[in-house]
Amino acid sequence: EDQDNLEIVNDLARAMGADVSCSRPIVDAKWLEKSRQVGTSGQTVSPKVYLACGISGSFQHMGGIKGAPFIVAINKNPKAPIFQVADVGIVADILEFLPELTEAVEQAK
């Protein structure tokens, strides 16, 4: 929705020591470079835990995360297809939830 919102994802990634990847709409909007795109038209990833923030779960994106053994999905739409494959599903607005999660991660260090 707003490129500035990407900063909350970056904050969480920094707190976790993780990398940020994205779906095609983020690349198309030129918010992140194509090398960070996950999906059939991007990269395939296989982290121990894949945290999908606001990802709806398109077929193309799902093809790129099939190597992840544990998927946590956060999406405000309870009917988002990503929840069908997620090991943990959280129905929440990432703009509200991620800052709280980041704070909890920071406090746990």
Which range marks the domain in which residue 27 is found? Answer: 3-103
Number of domain units in the chain:
1
Q: What is the pLDDT of residues 65-100, one digit of tens each?
A: 988 999 999 999 999 999 999 999 999 999 999 999
Percent of the chain with pLDDT over 90: 75
What tokens appear for 88 in the block? 């943990």
What tokens appear for 91 in the block? 């129905």
Q: CB–CB of 55/75 below 8 Å?
A: yes
* Mean pLDDT over each residue of the chain, to the nearest integer: 92
Residue 109 lies in a domain: no
Residue 108 lies in a domain: no
- pLDDT for the residue 84: 94
- pLDDT for the residue 12: 96
Statement: residue 1 has pLDDT above 80 = no
| Residue 34 CB neighbour total at 10 angstroms | 13
What tokens appear for 18 in the block? 């993780």
Distance CA 19, CA 51 (A): 10
The CATH number of the domain holding residue 36 is 3.40.50.1220
Q: What's the residue count for the chain?
A: 109
Instruction: Provide DSSP, 43-82.
Output: B----SSEEEES----HHHHHHSTT-S-EEEEES-TT-GG
Q: What confidence category does residue 40 fall into, taking pLDDT thresholds of 50, 70 and 90?
A: confident
Q: How large is the average pLDDT for residues 22-31?
A: 92
